[in-house]
Structure 1
Amino acid sequence: MDTAAFIRLLQDTTACTDRSTVKRIIRFQRASDYRNFLEQLPQVASSSSPHKSIRQMPSIRGIACRLHPEETLERFAGRVWIEKDCKISVHSSSQKSITVDKGIPWGVNQIKAPQAWGTTTGHRIKIGVIDTGADFSHPDLRHSLSRGINLLNRSMLPHDDNGHGTHIAGTIAAANQLQGMIGVAPRALISPVKAFDHNGSAFVSDIILGIEWCIRNRVNVINMSFGMKTRSKALLGAVNNAHNAGIIIVASSGNDGKRRSVDYPARYPQTIAVGATNKLRRVAAFSNRGAYIDVYAPGDKIVSAWLRGKYNEMSGTSMATSHVSGAIALLLAHKPGLSPTEIKAIIKRSVQPLRGNKARRTIGELDVMRMMQAVDKS
């Protein structure tokens, strides 16, 4: 492969100031080509060139950059794969502000998390929440957050400017027994990975960089409360790497009320795909459902932490996913060393049956106490 020619072509495109360029993910088919590319990039790239707009994703032997729509890199066919760097959105539907909410939210109670706290509180289990960031000043999250990373601005803390990430963090690990709310795993530690902007949208390349950060920083669980309709081989590659590193990935199925389909990355078999239930233990009307779902959890009218120390009620499979991530933290603190495959099997065989005649008996609602019993028997 003529690496220098490839770099020059990328530079010509990224130097273009017209708006017609589109974001692409380019993966190198051969490790040697990627190595040569990384070695030659600083040499070929002069200080005036825009090589800084080429983002490296080593775990998938890839880069993210802008290209002209008609640029197919044909002469490098057989050496690189190209895919669109798609937009991806957080999964939540309705929301409303709540003045104050104290104690244990209904979803945390419904999955029987409080009954496990005598045995496990998720102590020191690290959960990477790839989302909009977190409110570091929220009294209920003060002891639950580590520094994390802001992929949109690396010099800043991953401060939440949307609210969604703070809501997810609260359900997983809020810990303010006297004044505020308590999450599923109050002693777990959340690493906020800010990949999503204030509108709750990100690019696939940001998610991949977030997964790479989680692998490097040895998190135990990754919470992915977002999704998209299209399949991305680059994202699958990153998910595979995390799975192979022993990280459990929990992903929301989507809020389209579909019976036979779930969004990516929940659709990948390496993740735990989560659907949402309501207080009646029925599948919430908005939730995707069916054979692709691994487990359901509370996701309807969930109250959790919000920006500026407040609380919000939100509905969505996002909210269900955070209950599952918290439950896995409880399980891992109690029985360290379980693999992603083992945890998925434990969750699936310890569910509570759903209400409603059409509900399939094989898939049910998350039950922390049954999970604990299943692992103690094994």
Structure 2
Amino acid sequence: MYTKPLTQKILPLFSLGLLFTFGCAKEDLTPTEDFSATSAQQATQDGPTVTLDSKRYIIIASGDQLPSDITARAKSANGTVTSLLSEAGIAVATSDDPQFAAKASKITGVRSVVRDFTYQAFDPQKERSADVAANNVNPPSTGDSNPYFPLQWGHTAIQAPQAWNTGAQGEGVVVADLDSGFDLTHPDLQPNIVGSVSFVPGEDAQFRGAGSSHGTHTAGTIAAADNNIGVIGVAPKSKLLLVKVLRDSGSGSFSWMMSGIVYAVQNNAKVINLSLGAAFLRNGKFLNDNGTPNDPSDDFIEHDAKGTQELLVAISKVTSYAAKQGVTIIASAGNDANNGNKDQSLVHIPADATGVISISATGPMGWALNPLTTNLDRLASYSNYGTSAIDFAAPGGDFAYPGSEIVVFKGVRQYVWALDMVLSTAKNGGYTWMAGTSMAAPHATGVAALIIGKNGGQMDPARVKAVLRASADDLGKPGRDAAYGHGRVNAFRAVSQAL
């Protein structure tokens, strides 16, 4: 992870870090003793890597279910089933036999067998913008008693306070957040946590990494409690099921994510947040896990276009299973500033999977300088976009402001560009700013929880999406457009509709 110092301790009221996240972390800026840092947007980092696992395989059923004897049949093909997601027609297996995929693919009832993929979920941001008018005034609301609520411009953008004032706060809804590790003892999260689990071998759900905690941040945006301590979530009375499917370092396997989705469905989640993913080349160019990254002469580069296609089939089986069980799935669209209308060489997984609602990111530029008039709905500089790729937009933050001025804003002394990012919970009971479509997805997930809560805690995902669509603010070109999809989500309008 690329890091550089921020300058001097500039937050006298409470200790806040700054993290640029692109699906996850890019920069972790820690206060130091001087003001020598260059502007954040000059930082660069290589994009996410996707690696073929040489010994872990995903077995995909030809129908809804795998053969009942798949464990024994896989053993006969020299493999060991390590995870059986029978409800979704998926199994995960390991094998030292390089011919395992070919052998297991011949089992009756098996559509295909592909190698699992390891991916680095946190990717870079690049410049892109689109301006729309805004009106940035919050009414008095329940959020006012939380000290850092005034710094949460994203709630203003989606009219969350107005939604809370109608009585909609997500009560009765369990939201599963699939991410890296979490601060399970954070005072803003602990009141709403109903369970936690890890699918990452060797790591428990508690965040123990050296860097910033991506999972803690997304969880706080969804459902930080209204407890007068720090920040407040979009759905502050919803409950959190925290599911670790990425290492604290931000990498993970898609089989872990699929296992996490099935677990969430089976444990009463009604909304799943996926602030993670990777962009695949459709031609399937990957590094084998026996290879050497960043070596252009490496012999372990492989082309596996079928692997990309079948991975999407596998994940779509899992997401379709979730939808049939009444679970809404929301995912970040990705942070490559990719124009899906012009460049269709990439597949974004899981955002492109069946039934998944894909979210682009918006963010202001210089909000702290003109909080009442600054446009909060610019397409963020890093966000992917494309008419068919984006369902909705939501606040994800940005750091495109070109200056390095420091202001005192809402009692906090900070860089102007830093305040354009999303403030939420962080490790060790703290708070941090992040920017990315990873921050946009939990805003939309929170709105979905408000909608479902108003409906009594149960709602068909197609209906949830229909309400999101009918209530979204139609920004950009009329109708569905490349930047905002059907529009930027609006919590107040969503809960004010007849369901």
Normalised by the shorter chain, which TM-score bucket? 0.7 to 0.9
- The counterpart of 2:465, out of the listed 344, 356, 365, is 344
- The counterpart of 1:115, out of the listed 155, 159, 162, is 162
1:234 and 2:314 aligned? yes
User: What amino acid sits opposite 1:127 in the alignment?
Assistant: V
Q: Is the 8 A contact 1:101 1:180 kept in 2?
A: yes
TM-score normalized by the length of structure 1:
0.82
- Superimposed CA distance per residue, residues 76-106 of structure 1 (whole angstroms, 9 cap, x where no aligned partner): 4442311121123434658xxxxx9722511
1:65: Cα distance to partner?
2.8
1:13 aligns with none
CA distance in 2 between counterparts of 1:61 and 1:142 reads: 35
- The counterpart of 1:86, out of the listed 106, 114, 117, is 117
2:440 aligns with 320
Q: Quick one: percent identity of the two aligned structures?
A: 28
CA distance in 1 between counterparts of 2:386 and 2:435 reads: 19
Q: Is the 8 A contact 1:297 1:320 kept in 2?
A: yes
- The counterpart of 1:102, out of the listed 145, 148, 151, is 148
1:221 and 2:317 aligned? no
CA distance in 1 between counterparts of 2:426 and 2:162 reads: 26
User: What amino acid sits opposite 1:110 in the alignment?
Assistant: A
1:361: Cα distance to partner?
8.1
- The counterpart of 1:270, out of the listed 348, 355, 358, is 355
CA distance in 2 between counterparts of 1:177 and 1:32 reads: 45
How many residues align? The count is 346
1:366 aligns with 489
Q: Per the alignment, in what secondary structure is the counterpart of residue 229 of structure 1?
A: strand
CA distance in 2 between counterparts of 1:287 and 1:88 reads: 19
Q: Is the 8 A contact 1:90 1:318 kept in 2?
A: no
1:63 and 2:160 aligned? no
2:60 aligns with 27
- The counterpart of 2:200, out of the listed 152, 172, 181, is 152
Within a 5 Å distance, the mapping from 1:111-150 to structure 2 comes to 111-118=158-165, 119-150=167-198
User: What amino acid sits opposite 1:296 in the alignment?
Assistant: A
1:74 and 2:74 aligned? no
Between stretches 170-179 and 324-333, larger displacement belongs to 170-179
Q: Is the 8 A contact 1:93 1:314 kept in 2?
A: no
CA distance in 1 between counterparts of 2:383 and 2:199 reads: 29
Closer, same or farther in 2 for the Cα pair 1:221/1:32, shift >3 Å? closer
CA distance in 2 between counterparts of 1:77 and 1:140 reads: 48
Q: Per the alignment, in what secondary structure is the counterpart of residue 330 of structure 2?
A: strand
Closer, same or farther in 2 for the Cα pair 1:212/1:361, shift >3 Å? closer
User: What amino acid sits opposite 2:380 in the alignment?
Assistant: A
Q: Per the alignment, in what secondary structure is the counterpart of residue 67 of structure 2?
A: helix
CA distance in 2 between counterparts of 1:37 and 1:235 reads: 19
Q: Per the alignment, in what secondary structure is the counterpart of residue 193 of structure 2?
A: coil
Closer, same or farther in 2 for the Cα pair 1:255/1:101, shift >3 Å? farther
1:252 aligns with 332
1:133: Cα distance to partner?
3.0
Closer, same or farther in 2 for the Cα pair 1:296/1:85, shift >3 Å? same
- The counterpart of 1:167, out of the listed 217, 225, 228, is 217
1:282 aligns with 378
Within a 5 Å distance, the mapping from 1:43-62 to structure 2 comes to 51=80, 54-62=82-90
Q: Is the 8 A contact 1:91 1:317 kept in 2?
A: no
Closer, same or farther in 2 for the Cα pair 1:302/1:75, shift >3 Å? closer
1:31: Cα distance to partner?
7.9
TM-score normalized by the length of structure 2:
0.63
1:204 aligns with 254
Within a 5 Å distance, the mapping from 1:291-310 to structure 2 comes to 291=387, 292-300=389-397, 301-310=421-430
